[in-house]
Structures are given as C-alpha cells and as structure tokens.
Amino acid sequence: MTRIVDRRLNGKNKSAVNRQRFIRRFKAQIKKAVADSISERSITDIDSGEKINIPARDISEPVFRHGPGGEREYVHPGNTDFVAGDKIKRPPAGGGGSGGRASNQGEGEDDFVFNLSREEFLEFFFEDLALPDLVKTQLATNAEFRKVRAGYSRDGVPTNINVVRSLRGALARRIALRGPHLARLREAEEELDALLRAGGDDEASRLRAAALEEEIRELRRRIKAIPFIDTFDLRYNHRIDQPRPTAQAVMFCLMDVSGSMDEERKDIAKRFFILLYLFLTRNYERIDVVYIRHHTTAKEVDEDEFFHSRETGGTVVSSALELMHDIILDRYPTSDWNIYAAQASDGDNWNDDSPKCRELLINRIMPLLQYYAYVEITPDEHQRLWHEYLIVREHCRNFAMQRIDGLEDIYPVFRELFRKKAS
C-alpha cells in the first residue's frame, strides 16, 4: 500500500478547511472528550483550549483488501518448507491484527491527540445551551456606524484620490478633446501630401501649401496644449456612515454578601457569574454587566469590589431588587436592551422582606426582563425566600431557580437553567 505524506509547509489558515472537516467528522468523539474534560477542570479554566485524545480505531481510514478465496500465486524467496504442488492451509480468520491491543513487546498504537482552540472548546461547551425567550431580542436603536464605499465624488481630500479612476477620466477627456483636431489634422496632412506629390509650381498651389502647413502647426499645438490631467478629472473615494445595528444585552449580577454568606458560598457564586458571562458574550456583540452587592442595603459596585469586598451584615434582598429596577429605568430601556439577571444567595432573608421581593418581581421587574435566574447556595433546608420565589416561578415563565450544594453542582445547574427547550 502506497502512503503519500504531504510535508509542504502550511501557510496561515491554509489548513482551516481540513480542520473544520475533521471536527465535523469526529464531532461525537470530540464532544464526549470535552464533556469528560469539564469534570476534571475548574471553572476558572473553563475558557481555555483542550487537548482531545481520540482513540486510533476511531480515525482509521477505510482500505481495500483481498477477500478470502480465489487463486493467488506468491513467490517466497528462501522457502525451505514447501515445494511445488504442496497444499497450504488457509490462515485462521482474524490474523494480522492492528495496534491498540496489549502485547508482551511493550509496543502499541497511541491515541490521536487533537488540540482544540479556546473558541472551538467553548463552541462544544455551550452547544446544547440557549438563551431563553430570545424571540424578544431587539437590535440596538443607537446603532454603531462603519465607513463603507459609496462610489466616487468630485470633492475630497488628497489622501482619498482614486488614481485609477482619475486617470481613466483624464484619458477619456483627452480623447474627447483631441478627436476633432486629430480628424482635421489627418485631412490637412493628406491634402498637403497630395499637393506636394502633384508638384504644382503656381502661386495658388504655393499659397495653399503654406496655409495647410500653418493649419497643421496650429492643430498640433492645440492637441499638445490639452493637459494630461486636470482638476476636473480628479475623483475621490466616497465613503458614507452606514448604520450597523448590534444586538446588545445587559446582565445584572446580584449577590448576597451578608454574614451568612461565607467565603465558600461567595466563591461558588462568583464561578456561576463567570460562567454566565462567558455564555452571554457568545450570544451578543455588546454586553454590559452591572454588579450589585447587598446585605441590609444594596450598592452598585465595580467588578473588583464585587468579587473581593468583605462587607457583612444582615439581609434585605428587596434593596437589591429595587436598585436594579431603578437602574433599568434610568439606563437600560427595554426597547433597546435585552435584560438578564442572576441572583446568588444562601436564601437567608428578613422574613417580612421575602413577600415584598415576590411582589417586586411579579409586578415591576419580570415584565422588563428576558430571563431571571436565581441560585440558592445552601445544603440546608429552604427558607421563606425560596418559597416566595416558587410563587414567582408559577406566574412568570421567564423566571428560573435552582439550588447549588457545592462546586460540583455549578455546571449541571447552569446547564439546567439554560438548556435548549424542545420546539
């Protein structure tokens, strides 16, 4: 069997088509390997690439072989066991074998290792997930603009001169202006040549020849005076601002930082928010993130303070919900923004405040949101806030809630919150 190995150097992105074909062909094996690797890495490493091991048997190429039976002749140099006419038994089925089995020589066939880029890994990681209620997605009315070509203009700055178009216009102008003079020049030259060949020596012939020579000189001067290029010929690349609407979203992250939320629970909440942010950035070109921390009072903070501040206190969840509602009305009109919210808490709340949270969500907040995901980080029994949120879930189809016991539950809970729904 002839093997051809192409060892030519690949230029940048020249093997991209083959790479995508390989990924499509072995999608099932790669997807299984990605799923296996997720359980072995931390959430903070979730957006890096991955080395995928594919069993060699799964990438074997089909080959043609001789089937059993038929008449075949062989030449065996150095044969000392058989002579012409001997009958040779057919070898048992399954002989020959291939790599991948154990052997006492310590040799075998290694699995094929394939490196997935960060984007390819995340593509498989989020493949079965979807943003709920995406039908409401709105294109931004305050669109971004980009410069696009829009033909040519007679006015512009020197840096925008289109040389080819300008020279083409200059050539057309010279041809148009020279045309009548060239035609008359040819006629005058032909007439002068005919007059000179005739050899007339009379006064009229000489005067006519002199007049033709003067006319020819004048025509040549006019043709030569036509400028090679004129300001009239200049053409400039014309560019206009074309609106480019972009889908945009805002994600509100609400986290309880009261005394009952210890560092382990805060760490779980942070990892959940990181995972959610990675997911949303794959669905929107532009995304804003609003961080709100709360105990008895709520405050909008930056990312560093959100993840590293050490404030403690009691718990009044409604303060965070009210602040989020005020920010939406002030900065994020629902006609322009897709609004998502995620709340992480241990479920501990002042008892008289939990019904207020329910009323806020049902009557004021949920009609403005695409989706609201609540995760309760506790291995203990549910408290009153959870039971009030159950009522919210019954009234609002875009409200979802799950419980997280430990780090191992983050990804399963996330997939459950954002899994694709059957059509």
Instruction: Count CB neighbours of 153 within 10 A.
Output: 14
Q: Quick check: is 72 in a domain?
A: no
Q: Quick check: is 148 in a domain?
A: no
Same domain, 42 and 179: no
Q: Nearest-CA neighbor of 271 among 416, 375, 341, 369? A: 375
pLDDT of residue 193: 86
Count how many domains the chain has.
3
Q: Tens digit of pLDDT for each residue in 198-238?
A: 876 778 888 888 888 888 888 888 888 888 888 888 889 88
In this structure, are residues 276 and 251 in contact, taking their beta carbons and an 8 Å threshold? yes
Same domain, 354 and 234: no
Instruction: Read off the CATH number of the domain in which 315 is found.
Output: 3.40.50.410
Same domain, 273 and 305: yes
> How far is 271 from 414, CA to CA, in rounded Å?
11
Q: Quick check: is 286 in a domain?
A: yes
What DSSP letter does each residue of 221-243 carry, written as one string? HHHHHS-SS-GGG--EEEEEEEE
Same domain, 298 and 174: no
Range of the domain at 122: 20-58+116-127
Same domain, 38 and 180: no
Question: What is the residue type of 267?
Answer: D
pLDDT of residue 358: 92
Same domain, 297 and 375: yes
Same domain, 37 and 166: no
Domain C-terminal end among 179, 210, 238 = 238
pLDDT of residue 70: 67
Q: Quick check: is 222 in a domain?
A: yes
Same domain, 123 and 200: no
Q: What is the pLDDT along the chain (423 residues), one digit of tens a residue?
A: 556 655 555 555 556 667 777 777 777 777 777 766 655 554 445 556 666 666 665 556 667 776 666 676 766 566 677 777 888 777 766 554 444 444 444 444 455 666 777 677 767 666 666 555 443 444 333 455 677 788 888 888 888 888 888 999 889 888 888 888 888 888 888 888 888 888 767 788 888 888 888 888 888 888 888 888 888 888 898 888 776 555 678 889 998 888 777 778 877 887 788 777 777 777 676 778 899 988 888 899 987 787 776 666 678 899 999 999 999 999 998 877 888 898 988 888 887 899 999 999 999 999 999 889 899 988 778 888 899 999 999 999 889 898 888 777 777 787 777 776 554
Q: Quick check: is 1 in a domain?
A: no
pLDDT of residue 380: 75
Q: Tens digit of pLDDT for each residue in 85-109?
A: 888 777 766 554 444 444 444 444 4
pLDDT of residue 306: 79
Same domain, 176 and 297: no
- DSSP structural state of residue 283: T
Q: What angle do CA 345, 346, 347 make, to 5 degrees?
A: 90
pLDDT of residue 311: 66
Q: Quick check: is 226 in a domain?
A: yes
pLDDT of residue 233: 86
